[in-house]
Amino acid sequence: MQPPRFWHRPPGLWSTLLSPLGALYAAGTARRLAQGQPSKQSVPVICIGNINAGGTGKTPTVIALTQRLQAMGHTPHIVSRGYGGSVTSVVRVDERAHKAADVGDEPLLLAAFAPTWVSPNRVDGAELAVQNGADAIILDDGFQDPALHKDLSVVVVDAARGFGNGKVIPAGPLREPIATGLARADLLLSIGPKKAQSRFLEAWGTPPCPHLTGRLTPLQSGMDWQGSRVLAFAGIGHPQKFFATVQELGADIVKSEALEDHQPLSQALMVRLEHEAMLLGAQLVTTEKDATRLPDEFRAKVLAVPVRLEIENWSALDAALTKLF
């Protein structure tokens, strides 16, 4: 489901009417966190989480942090709950044996960068990662999960969308109040172009923790997109961001299809998109994450556009990482 439009508009009738339910949701989150008994691991646990529900850029942040730790000589493993997958016990993701329907699309993508564990219980996944040689755990999501002790928590937010209307689900897009969440965060990372970063600070002010800024940039693949006619589709948190990226590459988007976040790419859907692309004389393109959900027979027919996170200044994060080891 796409989030309600009023979540990203100034507070109005619906957000006001739903605010009491939002207060109950926030109280439930606070109670769960207060009653938890976090499991302390023998290696640092670094959480990449968010306060907003939905996509904020956690996956590219996990990839960037993984590569940063590897460049520092560490052996990070990634632990995820595997949203959208069917596995019911802890499993190490195997790119050759697993599909997105088994382990979720994000873990399948992340497994290309570091050993990745899908576990309904994050503690089990972390313990197995340590047993298999991890000297750091990168927790993909889980900021509101008290099961694991976090040695470092990075909250990720989309600079353009910010914290929406500032209210908690269902009155707004937040899992908990901003002040409450940022009080537990060690770092805040806002992702977006410079204009969006400026608007973010104007709207939300200086955060109470060190603030990193970054932007997503297409990975140079040698493909010349200039003037290419494309049918772009995406089932991510904010599909419009992907469409803007494709346009920035110089492609001519003759049609764009915004799917639900993590939407299965069924045979019927892909046949329809292929037919529409043929009629338009266009190439099918999608995100790197969506590509993990493609039916096998469509993998050669669809081009993926990978993006990577570029952080403007790593110093605050590097200093925090150095203290962990």
Closest residue by Cα to residue 264 from 59, 140, 105: 105
Give pLDDT, residue 199. Answer: 96
Q: How far is the C-alpha of 125 from the C-alpha of 128, rounded, in Å?
A: 5
User: Which pLDDT tens digit goes with each residue over 204-218?
Assistant: 999 999 999 999 999
* Residue 221 scores a pLDDT above 90: no
User: Which pLDDT tens digit goes with each residue over 245-264?
Assistant: 999 999 999 999 999 888 99
**Portion of the chain with pLDDT greater than 70, in percent:** 100
Give pLDDT, residue 28. Answer: 96
The average confidence (pLDDT) of the chain is 94
Give pLDDT, residue 238. Answer: 86
Give pLDDT, residue 222. Answer: 77
pTM of the model: 0.94
Feature table: binding site for ATP: 52-59
Mean pLDDT across the stretch 141-153?
A: 96
Mean pLDDT across the stretch 296-322?
A: 95
Feature table: binding site: 52-59
Give pLDDT, residue 56. Answer: 87
Give pLDDT, residue 83. Answer: 85
User: Which pLDDT tens digit goes with each residue over 55-109?
Assistant: 889 999 999 999 999 999 999 999 999 888 899 899 999 988 999 999 999 999 9
**Portion of the chain with pLDDT greater than 90, in percent:** 89
Q: How far is the C-alpha of 254 from the C-alpha of 282, rounded, in Å?
A: 7
* Residue 12 scores a pLDDT above 90: yes
Give pLDDT, residue 1. Answer: 60
Mean pLDDT across the stretch 19-41?
A: 94
* Residue 220 scores a pLDDT above 90: no
